């Protein structure tokens, strides 16, 4: 596995891969890798001839006061995991390489960026779109792999790929969970044992809503009420949102018959956690 830190190095490494490999897969990450990330790498390995992973804690997607400085950084351990999965190239730039002095171009996906996480984290979707656009331009992958856990990110990036005519397939992989249901996240490391127990209310809420839908409830309002009742079992969590939306536009839907995304976000102790389930059309 080759590790490169510069854009020129990444381009040269990809050019060498291109000589013999037809399909190049990109797995963008911020490191602190867990099984969720590794599932993306495995999907990329299965679907592509070569895999480029990136490790970059992107400063532009963190607002002032968020956890940029404390975000877990485990470069050596991450590289060992990626090497064991058979990744071909790791691109791990410094911030100055990605955003040299004077860099002033941003990628803004309008409207959709103001929904779900974008409402409480304004600037976050823009930071994600900007860095992912840069990674797409540097690596020029045939397929790029993202986790369904960040459903708002997926919706924003789908719009960006479509609107900007990126010549690649965006592949979205299912959320990977701990055995007790907690969605895997690098931010789970922030949780104390008690907070971790409280955090389980997020997946419990989603399962409860799924069960209500299976029992025949299709209107969003009673489904949200049912979910809020479960969330109230853990008063120490600070709910950001529980919404039922169209997975493509992130706009609220009145019922789930045509398919929907049930998404929840809450702060638990020092961690802001997100989770969601996709409800298939009836
Ligand atoms: O999902 C993440 O880890 C990040 O938002 C991403 C896509 C790597 C961009 O920094």
**Closest residue by Cα to residue 56 from 159, 134, 113, 166:** 134
Confidence grade of residue 37 (pLDDT, cut at 50, 70, 90): very high
Mutate to test the pocket of ligand 1, among 131, 139, 160 (most ligand atoms within 8 A of CB): 131
- Whole-number pLDDT of residue 21: 85
User: Which residue is closest in CA terms to ligand 1's atom 1?
Assistant: 29
Provide residues with CB under 6 Å of ligand 1: 28-30, 58, 61, 128, 131-132, 150, 153
User: Which residue is closest in CA terms to ligand 1's atom 3?
Assistant: 29
- How many whole angstroms separate alpha carbon 30 and alpha carbon 71? 9
- How many whole angstroms separate alpha carbon 56 and alpha carbon 77? 14
Model confidence at 266: pLDDT above 90:
yes
Same CATH topology for 2-173 and 186-277? Answer: no
pLDDT above 70 covers what percent of the chain?
A: 100
Q: 191: which 2 tokens?
A: 């949780």
DSSP code string of the chain: -EEE-SHHHHHHHHHHHHHH-S-EEEEEE-S---HHHHHHHHHHHHH-SEEEEEE---GGGS-TTSSTTTS---HHHHHHHHHHTT-SEEE---HHHHS-TT-------TTGGGSTHHHHSTTHHHHHHHHHHHHHHHH--SEEEEETTSHHHHHHHHHHHHHTT-SSEEEEEPPPB-TTSPBP-GGGGG--HHHHHHHHHHHHHHHHHHHHHHTT--BHHHHHHHHHHHHTT-TTSEEEEEEEE-TTT--B-SBSTT-EEEEEEEEETTEEEEEEEEEPP-
Confidence grade of residue 8 (pLDDT, cut at 50, 70, 90): very high
- HSE at residue 41, side-chain half, CA atoms within 13 A, is 24
For the chain, the structural domain boundaries read 2-173, 186-277
- All residues at 6 or more sequence positions from 20 whose CB lies less than 8 Å from its CB, including other chains: 49
- Whole-number pLDDT of residue 207: 98
Mutate to test the pocket of ligand 1, among 32, 41, 58 (most ligand atoms within 8 A of CB): 58
Mean pLDDT taken over the chain: 98
Tens of pLDDT along 169-204? 999 999 999 999 999 999 999 999 999 999 999 999
- How many whole angstroms separate alpha carbon 221 and alpha carbon 242? 11
User: Which residue is closest in CA terms to ligand 1's atom 6?
Assistant: 29
CA distances from 142 to 23, 25, 48, 136 (A): 6, 6, 8, 9
Q: Is there a contact between 175 and 147 (Cβ–Cβ < 8 Å)?
A: yes
Tens of pLDDT along 57-106? 999 999 999 999 999 999 999 999 999 999 999 999 999 999 999 999 99
* CATH of region 186-277: 3.30.1300.10
- Whole-number pLDDT of residue 97: 98
- Whole-number pLDDT of residue 41: 99
Model confidence at 224: pLDDT above 90:
yes
User: Which residue is closest in CA terms to ligand 1's atom 9?
Assistant: 128
Mutate to test the pocket of ligand 1, among 26, 28, 117, 158 (most ligand atoms within 8 A of CB): 28
For the CA of 132, the nearest atom of ligand 1: 9
Confidence grade of residue 163 (pLDDT, cut at 50, 70, 90): very high
Report, as an integer, the average pLDDT of 223-241: 97
Active site residues: 37
Topology of domain 2-173, CATH: Rossmann fold (3.40.50)
């Amino acid at each position: 596995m080759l590790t490169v830190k510069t854009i020129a190095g990444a381009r040269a490494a990809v050019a060498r891969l291109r000589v013999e490999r037809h399909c190049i897969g990109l797995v963008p990450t911020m490191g602190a890798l867990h099984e969720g990330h590794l599932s993306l790498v495995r999907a990329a390995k299965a679907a592509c001839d070569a895999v480029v992973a990136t490790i970059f804690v992107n400063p532009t997607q963190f607002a002032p006061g968020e956890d940029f400085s404390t975000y877990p950084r485990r470069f050596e351990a991450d590289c060992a995991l990626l090497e064991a999965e058979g990744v071909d190239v790791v691109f791990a730039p410094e911030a100055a390489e990605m955003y040299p002095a004077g860099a002033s171009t941003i990628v803004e996906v309008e409207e959709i960026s103001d929904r779900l996480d974008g409402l409480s984290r304004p600037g976050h979707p823009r930071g994600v779109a900007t860095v992912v656009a840069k990674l797409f331009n540097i690596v020029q992958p045939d397929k790029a792999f993202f986790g369904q856990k960040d459903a708002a990110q997926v919706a924003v990036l789908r719009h960006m790929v479509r609107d900007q005519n990126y010549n690649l397939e965006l592949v979205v992989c299912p959320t990977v969970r701990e055995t007790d249901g907690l969605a895997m996240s690098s931010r789970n490391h922030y949780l104390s044992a008690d907070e971790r127990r409280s955090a389980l209310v997020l997946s419990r809420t989603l399962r409860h809503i799924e069960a209500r839908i299976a029992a025949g409830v299709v209107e969003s309002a009673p489904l949200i009420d049912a979910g809020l009742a479960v969330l109230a079992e853990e008063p120490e969590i600070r709910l950001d949102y529980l919404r039922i939306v169209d997975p493509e536009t992130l706009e609220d839907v009145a019922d789930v018959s045509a398919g929907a995304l049930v998404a929840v976000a809450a702060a638990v102790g020092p961690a802001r956690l997100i989770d969601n389930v996709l409800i298939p059309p009836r």
